[in-house]
Amino acid sequence: MRLMIVDDSMVIRNRIAILSSNPLLGYVDIVAMASDGEQALALARSKQPDIITMDLTMPNMDGEECIGHLAKILPEARILVVSALSDRVTALRAIRNGAHGFLLKPFRDEELLNSLLELKQ
């Protein structure tokens, strides 16, 4: 699994990186970490991740816009939104724009693992 982690919080990026080293997920290569949508797009082109975790509320370019671009430039990549935005409309719109899953913050360790396992299958 080639994983890219996109979140404006360094603490959350590190937490996802730590959890993704769980053996249940098999070999995970963290190919990139980005703190906003613009950086994520540039890194996606060069690093070609196949799974992406994506925050929504970020500076410069937010996650919703970034998902729309990623769906075009990396159509095979699977995107898991990891966000605190808890309203139904936002979740549905993210899925419609190209995300494959939605995990609400705050999340427990096992919830992230299960979400990544589902995306991997």
Partner 1 sequence: MMKREIGAADIEVFSNAICEYFEAASGELAQVRSAYLLEGEYPELWSGYHGVIPVHGSFVGSVCFSAPKPLLTHVLMLMGDKSFSEASHLDLVGEIANTLSGQARKHFGETLCINPPLAFNGKHKPVSPKGTGKPYAIPFTWRNYEAGLVVDLIVA
Order of strands, sheet of 2-6, starting from the edge strand that comes earlier in the sequence = 29-34, 2-6, 51-54, 78-83, 101-104
Distance in Å, CB of 111 to partner 1, minimum? 8
Tell whether residue 12 is a contact of partner 1 (CB under 8 A).
yes
Distance in Å, CB of 52 to partner 1, minimum? 19
| H or E segment to which residue 4 belongs | strand 2-6
CB 78 within 8 A of CB 91: no
Distance in Å, CB of 109 to partner 1, minimum? 9
What token pair was written down for 76?
Answer: 């095979």
Tell whether residue 73 is a contact of partner 1 (CB under 8 A).
no
Of 45-53, 65-73, 99-107, 113-121, the segment contacting partner 1 by CB under 8 A is 99-107
